[in-house]
A and B are shown apart, each in its own frame.
Chain A
Amino acid sequence: MAACSSAAPVETAPVPATAATSSGDASVRDLAMLALDAAKSAGAQYADVRISQNRNQNINTRERRVQGLVDTTTYGFGVRSLVDGAWGFAGSRELTREEVVRVARQSVAQARANRAALVRPVTLAPPGSAAKGTWRAAARVDPFDVAIEDKVALLLSANEAAMKVKGARFVNSGMFFLREEKTLATSEGGYITQTLYRAQPFVNVTAVSADFSDFQTRQSNDVAPMGRGYEHVTDARLVENAPIWAEQAVQKLSAKPVEVGKYDLVLHPNHLWLTIHESIGHPTELDRAMGYEANYAGTSFLSPPEKFLGKFRYGPDFMNIQGDRSQVGALSTVGYDDEGVVPEDFLIVKNGIFNDYQTTREQATWLKWWYDSQARPTRSHGCSYAQSWADVQFQRMPNVSLLPGEKEQGWDDLIAATDRGIAIIGDGSFSIDQQRYNAQFGGQLYYEIKGGKIVGMLKDVAYQMRTPEFWNAMDMLGGKNSYFLGGAFGDGKGQPSQSNAVSHGCVPTRHRNINVINTGRKA
């Protein structure tokens, strides 16, 4: 999961930030300007510098023990430069004037070296305007202001509540928090400071059969990680929910193995977000479609763009997929991206038809023909992101969400309308090919539906799908009252792999006639 950092006094008081890193501090501005000047003097036509301070905290427990209580902080800066259309990037932990100049020159020297293998020079779409501003994530309670004893007591109480359930053998629980304060300065005059928060509590319960022939785990992944403060932990009601999760873990031991075949699937939003992430989020990244990620994350079935934009039917008319970095509390939500663009909300799928890719300033220029044909400006959607000061920014997923249907209906309504099917709750095993066609997903809980009613629990369920058929097999979706924001830390892409945190909002859906396999084997 998200690796980053954080620091110091945990029980109260914000970080006693040293002068060199507090947001808006003159010394940060001086260092940023020094880096830009050094890069420009060395020959960069464009440069940007990010200076950041990350604090994170991890608490992990099992049963009545605290296994880990870890506070981390990291400071540093990274300079990106563009020389004759070739990128360079260098970063360092030493926030001194000498090191800033050295690293800026190192970045430019690297860009010069990279020109040797240049075929098509990079050009950048306009940033909109040279942005100056500050932004702070919606966090009501700074997690670092909450006493560590209170956090530990909450987790151990949740564990105790879970262990009271007969048959629950093990419980692991924890919390993760991040606060990132970052400053971006660009050679075009942009100067932005932002504060991001991330929070995730979890409780996982394992039940083991008496004869040691089986074990089953219920993960609390219906409590999604979010871009919020400690209020997200409070709202998760861990102590109240832990016994429910424990009961479900025990129940999974005696669930009926699924019979393979075709079923109508009713998918809970706390499961569906991951299917959206894999089968819509990733294939609509423009760098993938253009082959830039072929060696690791993969390419996309939506390639070349001219064959798919405005033509490809992703799903039924009522399917609309939005890309944004604006939903309150969502993980990808920011005021500005990592090259200073104010992100906009945009429709990736519009009335079932593929409408747009996720872009950065470099990438937006590749789609000028499409934006011109739509009488739209060629500008970045604001999807530039780097996981830390030490890594170069590139295109990462914004929040990619399935918009609610017009009819106000929910989970129970979809089940009631289904004659023979399987209802799936929570995300589980997941795997998809490098062009995002063939996927296999499991979940946390599976229920058999007969005659519009849930008749029992199933186990060893996974569905296999081909992306276009799966989404075109969707015939029902929930209304806005059933909307839920799922998401994850740790979405990997790029080499070296960088971890992105992203949310996906969605409503329950029904998909007809989907292939279900049984994953149980005997050792």
Chain B
Amino acid sequence: MSAPRSLLSPARLLSREECEAIARRALAFGTADDVRVSIGGGSRGNTRFAQNQVSTSGDNYDVQVTVRAGVGQFVPAAQQPTDAALPRRGIKVGFSSTNRLDDASLREVVQTAERLARLAPEDPEALPELPNQTFEPDQGWSDATAALDPAGRVAAVRQVTDPARAAGLQSTGYLESNAGFFAVANNKGLFAYRRATSSAMTMTVRTADGSGSGWAGAAHHDVSRIDARALGARALDKAQRSVNPVAIEPGRYTVVLEPTAVGNLVQLIAFNLGARNADEGRSFFTKPGGGNKIGMKVVDERISITSDPLDVDMPAGAFTGEGLPVRRTAWIEKGAVANLAYDRYWAMSKNRDPVPGPSSFRMTGGDSTIEQLIASTERGLLVTRFWYIRPVDPRTILYTGLTRDGTFLIEKGKITRAVKNLRFNESPIFMLNNIEAMTAPVRVSASEDGGPGFGVMVPALKVRDFNFTSSSDAV
């Protein structure tokens, strides 16, 4: 789905040289001990459709400049006042940002950050700016994504709406494509720049009487890898097959979870990987008795989860917002916790290297096909995706949410009929301890809002004892 971008809507973004020039201008206004300038933005485009036609669409261009100012020097723990009543010593920090790039605005944003820093109390955990770093080469740019314009988006949308209308169905969906950049510079000589594209297309097709609903979606930094027609056909088929669902009793079921459903749940682990929370006793990754679970087995030993900014299927930034390099990280290795995320301060206090949080999530899989997962199931449910997933209990990473847009009963190895949606109360940790079989991993669109979101690559899973607690009438 690519089309030349019209002259009226070029994908505007700032180049490395332009970012360097803005950073130099801003840094020249700085007087604080530490000054960091982050510059990010670009062009964003989207087209929505409903009732088989475009409903709204939008294109916008923005650039945000954020300044971090630090006043004073870092004071190691050993040199802090021993009297607990005395204030702790350290760097005073302030942040300010603007989306104006003229000299007066840049001067003002630097001065505001510095003024805030001088008014802030000393922070014993604030660290000095990093010196220049070495980064992995930049990845994640697609000319096809950057070139997609409103007419190109409409052409893709029609590959879904036209067949849906012809079949007497109602299609609704969303296509987003972005071309952006991010740069960070500081007064210690660090500079990093990255440009990247992202795109996602998701759709929900419903029967005219509202008794059936099917979903399909995909995300990739290269929009030409998204096949709108194939996605539309899948959503159409699911809508037609999901009509007139029957209610089944909630309870524990063997489930075959399609990759999107697996991604919806597995990505929740990413939000709980902070080492500090674990060490402080307020996380699933807290070790009973104190400390954290690094080295402990927490899920099935067939499971490993990694993130890698150079992952060709889901490239991500090779540096953090403060300019720290991001490298391949194993989070779960053969079922055991391999790493947790450490910010620079917590890493220093624990004598470890910092570990930036996950930039994407790739989970290992198996060698089954989804047809084999279904064929091997005596009685169970096939789930297309989950929705409105919200935390219930952080002690076990327990979440609640519902199935949606394609939930089917499997009997004697065959899909026999559509069933009503169900609410679950379940943890991805429990789920990854109850695995029967897996397919190979695939890239999914697992964000709730249908945007490009966090890169997730997971298999379909067959899982026993999945906990459904109530039935829903929603189609």
Given contact pairs A78-B60, A152-B119, A392-B56, A208 touches B281 in the complex (Cβ within 8 A): yes
Partner of A7, one of B47, B98, B117, B401: B98
Complex contact B280–A208 (CB within 8 A): yes
Which of A108-116, A182-190, A218-226 lies at the interface?
A108-116
Complex contact B58–A392 (CB within 8 A): yes
In the assembled complex, 13 residue pairs joining A and B whose CB atoms fall closer than 8 Å, in A order, are A70-B95, A78-B58, A90-B59, A91-B60, A109-B8, A120-B53, A152-B119, A212-B287, A215-B286, A295-B50, A430-B390, A442-B392, A519-B392
Which of A227-235, A416-424, A490-498 lies at the interface?
A490-498
- A68: chain B residues within 8 A (beta carbon): 95
Given contact pairs A8-B112, A390-B62, A392-B56, A433 touches B474 in the complex (Cβ within 8 A): yes
> Among residues 169 to 216 in chain A, which have CB atoms less than 8 Å away from a CB atom of chain B?
169-170, 206, 208-209, 211-215
Given contact pairs A8-B112, A394-B56, A433 touches B404 in the complex (Cβ within 8 A): yes
Which of B172-180, B182-190, B255-263, B457-465 lies at the interface?
B172-180
Chain B nearest CB, measured from A1 CB (Å): 15
Partner of A295, one of B64, B450, B473: B450
Which A residues lie at the B interface, using CB under 8 A? 5, 7-11, 16, 18, 64-76, 78, 86-94, 102, 105-106, 109-110, 113-114, 116-120, 147-149, 152, 156, 169-170, 206, 208-209, 211-215, 217, 290-296, 298-299, 301, 303, 390-392, 394, 429-438, 440, 442, 460, 462, 464, 466, 492, 494-497, 515, 517, 519-523
Given contact pairs A295-B204, A440-B400, A519-B393, A301 touches B473 in the complex (Cβ within 8 A): yes
Given contact pairs A169-B281, A291-B50, A431-B389, A466 touches B473 in the complex (Cβ within 8 A): yes
Complex contact A117–B281 (CB within 8 A): no
A521-B394 Cα distance, complex, nearest whole Å? 10
Partner of B125, one of A65, A390, A391: A65
A153 and chain B: residue at smallest CB distance = B121
In the assembled complex, B213 has its CB within 8 A of some CB on chain A: yes
Given contact pairs A11-B119, A521-B398, A114 touches B54 in the complex (Cβ within 8 A): yes
Complex contact B157–A117 (CB within 8 A): yes
Complex contact B95–A71 (CB within 8 A): yes
Residue-by-residue, is B152-165 near A (CB-CB < 8 Å gives 1, otherwise 0)?
Answer: 01110110010001
Chain A nearest CB, measured from B347 CB (Å): 17
A361-B462 Cα distance, complex, nearest whole Å? 48
A211-B281 Cα distance, complex, nearest whole Å? 9
Interface residues on B, range: 35 or more
Residue-by-residue, is B260-293 near A (CB-CB < 8 Å gives 1, otherwise 0)?
Answer: 0000000000000000000011101011111000
Chain A nearest CB, measured from B475 CB (Å): 7
- B6: chain A residues within 8 A (beta carbon): 109
Complex contact A462–B119 (CB within 8 A): no
- A492: chain B residues within 8 A (beta carbon): 449
A-B contacts counted at CB < 8 A amount to: 319
In the assembled complex, B451 has its CB within 8 A of some CB on chain A: yes
- A89: chain B residues within 8 A (beta carbon): 56-59
- B50: chain A residues within 8 A (beta carbon): 290-295
User: Which 10 pairs of residues, A with B, have the shortest CB-CB distance?
Assistant: A438-B472, A435-B474, A433-B474, A495-B174, A91-B60, A497-B449, A294-B172, A208-B281, A70-B95, A390-B60
Which of B136-144, B364-372, B419-427 lies at the interface?
B419-427
B282 and chain A: residue at smallest CB distance = A215
A120-B170 Cα distance, complex, nearest whole Å? 14
In the assembled complex, B225 has its CB within 8 A of some CB on chain A: no
A462-B425 Cα distance, complex, nearest whole Å? 11
A293-B41 Cα distance, complex, nearest whole Å? 27
- B448: chain A residues within 8 A (beta carbon): 296
Complex contact A64–B88 (CB within 8 A): yes
Chain B nearest CB, measured from A86 CB (Å): 7
In the assembled complex, B15 has its CB within 8 A of some CB on chain A: no
Complex contact B119–A87 (CB within 8 A): no
Complex contact B55–A292 (CB within 8 A): yes
- A215: chain B residues within 8 A (beta carbon): 281-282, 286, 394-395
> Among residues 367 to 404 in chain B, which have CB atoms less than 8 Å away from a CB atom of chain A?
387-396, 398, 400-402, 404
- B165: chain A residues within 8 A (beta carbon): 119
Complex contact B46–A496 (CB within 8 A): yes
